[in-house]
């Protein structure tokens, strides 16, 4: 078991998401940064869809009551195991009584703690992911708090007998980037309804991530985007990465827990390849959108997933060598 001593700022149980219920208004949700989520699971020998803890800004303090293996991936968080610094992006063995502190985030915004066997909470609609707006999944559909006890799923624990070369130590800085992040996007269904100046502005200006951003939407502040003429819109499909523009003119990039339909004009759609980057954007970071063709966006995503699959396969081969 895992005992939660402090819940952190906003820590939830997440897996790859809740599929097949968008028609009922339930979003896929799941880990915001699928890249870090998948790698964390691979590093502890999981198959890939096990539930993990997603920490935002500052993480939890937890005590382990079982021998297991953990790995933390994502943003650069200050982490300590029994008071000693813990290296991210590599597996670590823990014993009963060990205390893990996931402190403040220095770079990025979210971290993922995987444990061998996964976090064993009851699935809801086929997923263990927490969807706070509807209080679904996870621990009673809410963020973790002091006193929560989480079960760990069964796993064939293998502890490395010698140091393994994971090759991921510099990955965070490479994909999270700096304070200014270039996010590629394709024009959305209502792109042509905006004024020429606004269409130019979208891809020329810098937009700042505001403190009001969360798992539902990344709210941006910058030059207002204006439609050529105002008109009522019928609510239509939106997904993770859809850029909507409300009447204020300030764009909102919809995130993993966003609604399934929306009534604001969709000026753009963030390329899937850059969603992990956007998931790690913190308040104060600057976003600059860069136009990209749909065909290029698809190809870049395929290449990214192939690269990720190769890394995960390499990690699993190292684990297999230990077995």
DSSP 225: P
Hey, which bits of the chain come out as E strands?
A: 2-6, 10-14, 52-56, 61-64, 68-81, 84-85, 92-94, 99-115, 149-150, 180-187, 207-209, 217-221, 236-237, 242-244, 252-254, 261-262, 266-270, 286-291
DSSP notation for 29-58: ---S-HHHHHHHHHHTT--S---EEEEESB
Output the pLDDT for position 148: 97
The stretch 298-319 carries a mean pLDDT of 90
The stretch 106-133 carries a mean pLDDT of 96
Residue with tokens 């606004």: 198
C-alpha to C-alpha distance for 244 and 188, rounded to whole angstroms: 9
164 pLDDT tier (thresholds 50, 70, 90): low
Output the pLDDT for position 2: 96
C-alpha to C-alpha distance for 55 and 91, rounded to whole angstroms: 18
- Answer yes or no: is pLDDT of 259 > 80: yes
The dihedral built from the CA positions of residue 9, 50, 29 and 255, taken in this order, carries a sign that is: positive
Q: What is the pTM of this model?
A: 0.94
232 pLDDT tier (thresholds 50, 70, 90): confident
The residue that leads in pLDDT, 211 or 167, is 211
Cα–Cα–Cα angle for 15, 280, 147, rounded to 5 degrees: 50
The stretch 123-138 carries a mean pLDDT of 97
Say which range, 58-67, 159-168, 195-204, has the weakest mean pLDDT: 159-168
Helices 294-322, 34-43: crossing angle, 10 deg rounding:
10
**Which is it for strands 286-291 and 180-187: parallel, antiparallel or unpaired?**
parallel
The dihedral built from the CA positions of residue 105, 7, 1 and 53, taken in this order, carries a sign that is: negative
Output the pLDDT for position 185: 98
CB 137 within 8 A of CB 54: no
Output the pLDDT for position 209: 98
CB 254 within 8 A of CB 220: no
162 pLDDT tier (thresholds 50, 70, 90): low
Query: Of 174, 172, 177, 238, nearest to 209 (Cα)?
Result: 177
169 pLDDT tier (thresholds 50, 70, 90): low
Output the pLDDT for position 23: 93
CB 112 within 8 A of CB 133: no
C-alpha to C-alpha distance for 120 and 293, rounded to whole angstroms: 41
CB environment 194-232: b (16+ within 10 A), e (fewer): beeebbebbeebebebeeebebbbbbbebbebebeeeee
C-alpha to C-alpha distance for 148 and 8, rounded to whole angstroms: 12
322 pLDDT tier (thresholds 50, 70, 90): low
- Answer yes or no: is pLDDT of 321 > 90: no
Output the pLDDT for position 172: 64
140 contact partners, CB below 8 Å, separation of at least 6: none
- Answer yes or no: is pLDDT of 10 > 80: yes
The dihedral built from the CA positions of residue 192, 198, 200 and 203, taken in this order, carries a sign that is: negative
Output the pLDDT for position 165: 59
17 pLDDT tier (thresholds 50, 70, 90): very high
Percent of the chain with pLDDT over 70: 93
The stretch 202-206 carries a mean pLDDT of 97
121 contact partners, CB below 8 Å, separation of at least 6: 13, 51, 128, 137, 138, 139, 150, 151
197 pLDDT tier (thresholds 50, 70, 90): very high
- The token duo for 10 is 């906003």
């Amino acid at each position: 078991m895992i005992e939660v001593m402090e819940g952190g700022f906003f820590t939830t149980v997440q897996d790859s998401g809740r599929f097949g219920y968008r028609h009922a208004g339930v979003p896929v949700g799941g880990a915001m940064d699928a890249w870090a989520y998948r790698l964390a699971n691979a590093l502890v020998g999981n198959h890939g869809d096990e539930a993990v803890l997603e920490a935002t800004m500052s993480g939890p303090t937890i005590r382990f009551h079982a021998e297991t293996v953990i790995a933390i991936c994502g943003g650069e968080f200050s982490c300590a195991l029994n008071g000693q610094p813990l290296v991210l992006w590599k597996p670590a063995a823990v014993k009963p009584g060990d205390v893990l502190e996931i402190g403040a985030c220095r770079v990025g915004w979210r971290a993922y703690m995987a444990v061998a066997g996964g976090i064993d909470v009851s699935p809801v609609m086929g997923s263990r992911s927490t969807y706070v707006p509807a209080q679904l999944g996870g621990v009673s559909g809410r963020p973790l708090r002091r006193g929560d006890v989480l079960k760990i799923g069964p796993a064939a624990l293998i502890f490395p007998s010698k140091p393994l070369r994971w090759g991921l130590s510099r990955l965070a800085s490479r994909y999270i980037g700096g304070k200014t992040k270039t996010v590629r996007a394709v024009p959305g269904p209502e792109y042509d309804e905006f004024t020429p100046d606004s269409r130019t502005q979208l891809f020329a200006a810098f937009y700042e991530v505001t403190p009001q951003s969360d798992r539902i939407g990344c709210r941006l502040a910058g030059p207002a985007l204006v439609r050529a003429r105002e008109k009522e819109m019928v609510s239509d499909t939106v997904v993770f990465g859809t850029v909507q523009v409300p009447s204020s003119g300030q764009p909102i990039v919809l995130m993993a827990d966003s609604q399934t339909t929306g009534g604001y004009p969709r000026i753009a759609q963030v390329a899937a390849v850059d969603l992990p980057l956007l998931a790690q954007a913190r308040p104060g970071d600057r976003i600059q959108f860069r136009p990209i063709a749909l065909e290029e966006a698809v190809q870049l995503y395929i290449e990214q997933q192939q690269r990720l699959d190769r890394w995960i396969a390499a990690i699993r081969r190292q684990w297999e060598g230990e077995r």
